[in-house]
Amino acid sequence: AKAEFDTRICYYEREMDEHARQRRAMAHDLWVALEKDAFDLVYQVQKSVSTGEVTGYEVLLRWDRPGHGLVSPTDFIPLAEETGSIGPIGAWVLKTACLEAASWPEPYKIAVNVSGLQLAQLELVDLVRMVLFQSGLEPERLELEVTETAIIADKKRALYVLRQIKAMGVSIAIDDFGTGYSSLDTLRSFPFDKIKLDRSFMVEVETNEQSKAIIRAILALGRSLSVPVLAEGVETHAQLDVLRDEGCNEAQGFLLGRPGNIDWADLLDPPLSA
Ligand code: C2E
Ligand code: CA
Ligand code: CA
Ligand code: CA
């Protein structure tokens, strides 16, 4: 039994080593990607539920890792946070997004994701100021998306940083709303400009009365606080119909548009509807 136990421990350790090795390799490749400017940005449209008009675009990071193909940000962002590259990666995203948006033919808003680690650093205030100055982007066209988890980590610091940024004219959205454990407390602590309802709430919304009741309650909360609500992860017409009936302000999801490059030709010359 002792021998069997030792073999199993040994196997377990080898697996741990392999896992750690792969993470180290990915962390290293992230730094290389930064150096080589190998990241890309894609944009996902956000629309008004009542009029269908474009209200803005969320900026999403893409990494085509040599030898591995596209790696999901849900896999590499946490690693970048643990290994320190999130600072420069986040700065690259902000700078590149503002520069690109400043040259768009239409002055749409962009919503940029900000990680908890960035939020805990005072440098973020200077970074936003510098990037707006360098790109010439109007501050009103920039929105930062922050999660409540990111705020809770160091709440005092995070709210201080957000206040400074908001004072520049940049707006702040609370991302993945409803998935954290103190959503209401977070809402009370800061004057957010938008609530982004997590996409888990869209599941079964057209068939499940419970889900619909929760969405209705959050929309009522948004209305009483005068904060518009955007529903994430809208994939079906049935979901969009519910959102319209319940008075949701904006929506984002595969139904309205996949993340990608913006097709200006289509936007500027909309095909005549029959
Ligand atoms: P998120 O901020 O909640 O972004 C929305 C994610 O949902 C995106 O995944 C988007 O492609 C996906 N999505 C959009 N519509 C639908 C839909 O209808 N159905 C489903 N199932 N999914 C939909 P993506 O691009 O893989 O990003 C995942 C997460 O990675 C983001 O979640 C965000 O937390 C993080 N992330 C992405 N880009 C950045 C960035 O530049 N900086 C930071 N700090 N985090 C980022
Ligand atoms: Ca987001
Ligand atoms: Ca989200
Ligand atoms: Ca086209």
Nearest CA to ligand 1 atom 29: 74
What residues pack around ion ligand 2 (CB closer than 5 A)? 113, 145, 175
> Which atom number of ligand 1 is nearest to the Cα of residue 73?
30
Secondary structure string (H, E, C) spanning the chain:
CHHHHHHHHHHHHHHHHHHHHHHHHHHHHHHHHHHCCCEEEEEEEEEECCCCCEEEEEEEEEEEECCCEEECHHHHHHHHHHHCCHHHHHHHHHHHHHHHHHCCCCCCEEEEECCHHHHCCCHHHHHHHHHHHHHCCCHHHEEEEEEHHHHHHCHHHHHHHHHHHHHCCCEEEEEEECCCCCHHHHHHHCCCCEEEECHHHHCCCCCCHHHHHHHHHHHHHHHHHCCCEEECCCCCHHHHHHHHHHCCCEECCCCCCCCECCCHHHHHCCCCCC
Residue nearest to atom 14 of ligand 1 (CA): 253
| Per-residue pLDDT at 152 | 86
Residue 90 alpha carbon, nearest atom of ligand 1:
42
Is the CB of 206 inside a 6 Å radius of any atom of ligand 1? Answer: no
The best mutation among 77, 89, 204, 234 to test binding of ligand 1, ranked by most ligand atoms within 8 Å of the C-beta, falls on 77
Residue 18 pLDDT: 87
pLDDT value of residue 274:
46
Is the shortest distance between the CB of 72 and ligand 1 below 6 Å? yes
Distance from Cα 144 to the centre of ligand 4, integer Å: 29
Q: Which atom of ligand 1 is nearest to the CA of 235?
A: 18
> Does ligand 1 come within 6 angstroms of the Cβ of 115?
yes
Ligand 1 atom with minimal separation from the 93 CA: 41
- pLDDT digit string (tens) for the chain, length 274 residues: 777 777 777 777 777 788 899 999 999 999 999 999 999 999 999 999 999 999 999 999 999 999 999 999 999 999 999 999 999 999 999 999 999 999 999 999 999 999 999 998 889 999 999 999 999 999 999 999 999 888 888 899 999 999 999 999 999 999 999 987 778 888 999 999 999 999 999 998 888 899 899 999 999 999 999 999 999 999 999 999 999 999 999 999 999 999 999 988 877 776 665 4
> Does ligand 1 lie within 6 Å of residue 117's CB atom?
no
173 in ligand 1 pocket by Cβ < 6 Å? Answer: no
- pLDDT for 160: 95
CB distance 81 to ligand 1 below 6 Å:
no
Q: Which ligand is nearest to the CA of 46?
A: 1
